[in-house]
Amino acid sequence: MSSLFSTETDATPAPPPANMIIDSDQTSFMADVVDASREIPVLVDFWATWCGPCKTLTPALEKVVRAQGGRVRLVKIDIDKNQALVAQLTRMGLPLQSVPTVVAFWQGQVADTFSGALPESEVRRFVEGLLKMAGSAAPGAELIAQGKEYLEQGDAESAAQHFAAAVQADREKPEAWSGLARALIALGDEEQAAEVLAGVPEKLAEHGEIAGARSALALAAEGRKAQGARAGLEARLAANPDDFEARYELATALNASGERDAAADALLEIVRRNRAWNEDAARLQLLKFFEAWGFDDEATMAARRKLSALLFR
Spatial distance between the Cα atoms of 50 and 12, rounded to a whole number of angstroms: 28
Q: Is 200 considered catalytic here?
A: no
**Contact between 78 and 59 (Cβ < 8 Å):** no
- Annotated active-site residue in 43, 51, 233, 267: 51
Tell me which of 54, 99, 254, 266 is the catalytic residue.
54
Q: Angle of helix 120-133 relative to helix 52-67, nearest 10 degrees?
A: 50
Q: Is 51 a catalytic residue?
A: yes
Where in the sequence numbering do the catalytic residues fall? 51, 54
